[in-house]
Amino acid sequence: MAVDEAILSYCLWRPTNIDLSLEWYYADDSYFSVGYFEKDVKNFIGTGFEETPIFDIPNVIGGQLWEDAKTAAGLTDTDYGEIGNYIINNYADNAAVDTSVTPAEIYGQDGDPALVWVLSRPVNQKAAEVDGIEINLQHTFGDTGYGFVANATFANANIGYDIANPLEGQFVLNGLSDSANLIAFYDKNDLQVRLAYNWRDDFLAGAGQGQGTYTNPTNVEAYGQLDLGITYRATEKLTVYFSGLNLTEETVHVYGLTKDQVLQAVQGGPRYDIGLRYQIN
> What CATH code is carried by the domain that includes residue 172?
2.40.170.20
pLDDT digits (tens, 9 = 90+) for 86-132: 999 999 899 889 988 988 899 888 889 888 888 777 777 677 889 99
Count of domains for the chain: 2
Confidence of residue 3 (pLDDT cuts 50, 70, 90): very low
High-pLDDT (> 90) share of the chain, % = 51
Please tell me whether residues 264 and 148 are part of one structural domain: yes
**One domain, residues 233 and 270:** yes
Last residue of a domain, one of 73, 88, 112: 112
Distance, in Å, from the CA atom of 197 to the CA atom of 266, rounded to the nearest integer, reads 19
Helix (H, G, I), strand (E, B), or coil: what is residue 70? helix
Return the percentage of the chain with pLDDT > 70, whole number. Answer: 92
Instruction: Judge whether 152 lies within some domain.
Output: yes
Domain boundaries, position 73: 60-112
Between 214 and 247, the more confident residue is 247
Give the distance, in angstroms, between the CA of residue 30 and the centroid of all CA atoms in the same chain.
Answer: 36
- Tell me the H-state helices in 32-79: 64-73
Average pLDDT on 8-18 reads 65
DSSP 160: -
- Using a cut of 0.85, tell me whether the model's pTM lies above it: no
Report yes or no: 209 and 236 within 8 Å, Cβ to Cβ: no
Sign of CA dihedral 167, 171, 175, 176: negative
Mark whether 140 and 169 lie in a shared domain. Answer: yes
- What confidence tens digit (pLDDT) does each residue in 38-70 have? 988 877 666 667 788 888 888 888 888 999 999
Q: What gap in Å lies between CA 190 and CA 94, rounded to an integer?
A: 81
- The rounded distance, in Å, linking the Cα atoms of 215 and 278 is 53
pLDDT at 7: 39
Say whether both 199 and 139 belong to one domain: yes
106 and 135 belong to one structural domain: no
171 and 261 belong to one structural domain: yes
Distance between CA atoms of residues 135 and 132, nearest Å: 10
Q: Which of 165-169's residues contact partners 24+ apart within 8 Å by CB, and which partners?
A: 166/215, 166/216, 166/217, 166/257, 167/215, 167/216, 168/215, 169/49, 169/207, 169/214, 169/215
